[in-house]
Amino acid sequence: MELYVKKGGSTMLPQDPAILLSVVNARLRDQYPDLDELCQSEGVDRAALEEKLAALDYRYDGEQNQFI
């Protein structure tokens, strides 16, 4: 099951968790004020994203606007 597919069918985020972490943190740093905005704009299910990155022992920190 593809978890990170933008509405309309085009894949926008990588499936590999380590690469996903890097891409998401870069987008949070450079393009989005918070995780909700990123998920809404990218058409990503926030819970699925957080679950995938939790498998790497990363959690979203709203104050830093990064997965740490």
Read off the pTM.
0.83
Residue 29, both tokens: 């740093």
pLDDT of 5 reads 46
**pLDDT average per 10 residues of sequence, the chain (68 residues):** 49 86 97 97 94 97 98
pLDDT of 6 reads 52
For the chain, domain boundaries: 17-67
